[in-house]
Amino acid sequence: MRIALVGPYHPDVGGVQIYTTYLAGELMSLGHEVVVVSYHNARSKWGERVRNALNVGVPVLRGLTFIVHSALALARECPDVALAQYAVTSGIAAWLASFLGVPYTVTFHGSDLRVSPHLSRIAASKAEAVISVSSWLAERLEGSGIGVSGIIPGGIDPEPFLALPPKEEVREELGLDPRAKLVLSVGALIEAKGFDIIPEVAASLMRKGVTEARFLVIGEGPLKGVIEGRASRLGVEDRIALLGRKRFEETVKYYRAADLLLHPARYEGYGLVIREAMAAGTPVVTTDVGGARDLVEDGVDGYIEKRDADKMAEKIALLLTNDDLREEMGERGRGKALSRTWRHVAIDYLRLLERVLS
């Protein structure tokens, strides 16, 4: 089968980019021809062909240029099916290409529906199938009048996680205090991810007497100044380290080095970082958004909590002060997280395509 993938791609980092990149690799390994239509900086990772859109620096024009370029590229490629990743932009491009005879599916990753429900409905209107990455998101799509054909959550590449050394060795390699209680958060510093609550969580832990906790945040974004300002006002600036962007290989080591992952998102389509942290043997404290309930069994391999600083601090304190509980939860979650690979994701797509294209 000739399959086109449309959307953000390698080497950019982020949930959609990782999902699209690994899906392409697995589809190729299963014998399918893959072409990727993506932004100007996208590069081949598996030997696949990549067609790059023109680089336009103006935000709105950038999206419009990508849509037009991608639709024309799909028409020229004439694939058996196009898999649009992210409804707004990629989905609209595939929708336009469908008028030129290109069948397509559209996968919703979360922020697309929140950014533009109207464009999301247009992108879904001519799709052979609409895919959601979590049951949480599927409910919201259905509530917006968009029927969902299937739920295909992301997976994991087990190799880098299985190769991780013990926590003590990783901390030494990263130059981290072996005695500190480390709480990690990973993602863009934007409102949807909710990291602006971290200073309040740190202050709440201080009031509870958990003074050894340190917060590490991997990611960049416009809320950096907000987080720093709140941390300073609350007197916890020495307990929060904003580490900026890290390569995936290094981020995996931080997952292992941490005592737990805090994911206080306001809105999340799936939450791949939850699966990645669990794959490293690290328990999670997360809000009830995205794929949280698909990934975490509350009280068994992590905690799902209301987005409230004191309530999240209670769960964090419970884990940080109980080594046995933390290790047990980490081990339970690790096997579950590693059980779904990107090969499973590709097979789920092929089964869905067989059903809707036959």
At 174-219, the pLDDT tens digits run 999 999 999 999 999 999 999 999 999 999 999 999 989 999 999 9
Question: Which helix (H) or strand (E) segment is 344 a member of?
Answer: helix 342-357
CA distance 165 to 213: 23
| Of 35, 34, 20, residue with least CA distance to 86 | 20
pLDDT number for residue 14: 83
For 207-234, how does the pLDDT look when each residue is reduced to its tens digit (9 = 90+)?
999 989 999 999 999 999 999 999 999 9
For 130-156, how does the pLDDT look when each residue is reduced to its tens digit (9 = 90+)?
999 999 999 999 999 999 999 999 999
CA distance 355 to 316: 44
Over residues 96-125, the mean pLDDT reads 94
Burial category of 278 from C-beta neighbours within 10 Å (exposed 0-12, middle 13-18, buried 19 and up): buried
pLDDT number for residue 164: 96
Domains and CATH numbers, the chain: 2-155+341-357 (3.40.50.2000), 159-338 (3.40.50.2000)
Q: Using pLDDT thresholds of 50, 70 and 90, give the confidence band for residue 291.
A: confident
CA distance 297 to 110: 21
CA distance 289 to 271: 8
SS3 string, 302-342, reads EEEECCCHHHHHHHHHHHHCCHHHHHHHHHHHHHHHHCCEH
C-alpha dist (Å) from residue 231 to 203, 238, 240, 241: 9, 8, 8, 10
Beta bridge partners of 219: 244
Q: What is the pTM of this model?
A: 0.92
Sheet holding 81-85, edge to edge: 49-52, 33-38, 2-6, 81-85, 104-108, 129-132, 150-151
CA distance 123 to 350: 21
In this structure, are residues 89 and 111 in contact, taking their beta carbons and an 8 Å threshold? no
